[in-house]
């Protein structure tokens, strides 16, 4: 299966999972010159920027382990741009990772924060 198709399927699965947990989906595949955020959602008064990673095998590690320092920096810059341009109302910001391995979902809340270095 094509990589883009697999990625979209994983994101669709993540969105369904988040909706079942009562998250409000604000945006998907938000792109800037800095990078892209897969899902932007609201969890109560918290705006959540979510990276979705999926793999069909764990031989070389779990999906969330593929989120490296460079990717985190891009997500943070893109999130800052989103907040500045969209001006959403919220009292907290959170960065989560949804990891999908063999269709099993792991939701890693607070995977990193704005002060990441």
Tell me what pLDDT residue 80 has. Answer: 94
Instruction: Using a pLDDT cut of 70, give the percent of the chain over it.
Output: 95
Tell me what pLDDT residue 8 has. Answer: 87
Domains of the chain plus CATH, in order, are: 3-112 (3.40.1350.10)
**61 vs 70, higher pLDDT:** 70
Distances (CA, A) of 38 to 25, 33, 88: 11, 15, 17
Q: Are 103 and 13 in contact (CB under 8 A)?
A: yes
Tell me what pLDDT residue 24 has. Answer: 97
Q: Give pLDDT tens digits for 4-38.
A: 788 888 899 999 999 999 999 999 999 999 999 99
Number of C-beta neighbours around residue 101 at 10 A:
16
**Confidence at 1, pLDDT banded by 50, 70, 90:** low
Instruction: Name 69's Cβ contacts closer than 8 Å, sequence gap at least 6.
Output: 116
Instruction: Name 114's Cβ contacts closer than 8 Å, sequence gap at least 6.
Output: 76, 79, 80, 93, 95
Q: Give pLDDT tens digits for 44-67.
A: 999 999 999 988 766 677 888 889
pTM beyond 0.85, yes or no: yes
């Amino acid at each position: 299966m094509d990589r883009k198709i697999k990625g979209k399927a994983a994101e669709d699965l993540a969105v369904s999972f988040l909706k079942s947990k009562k998250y409000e989906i604000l945006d998907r595949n938000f792109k800037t010159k800095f990078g892209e955020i897969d899902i932007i959602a609201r969890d109560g008064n918290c705006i959540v920027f979510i990276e979705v990673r999926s793999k069909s095998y764990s031989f070389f590690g779990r999906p969330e382990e593929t989120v490296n320092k460079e990717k985190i920096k891009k997500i943070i810059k893109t999130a800052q741009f989103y907040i500045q341009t969209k001006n959403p109302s919220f009292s907290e910001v959170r960065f989560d990772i949804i990891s999908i391995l063999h269709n099993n979902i792991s939701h890693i809340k607070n995977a990193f924060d704005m002060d990441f270095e």
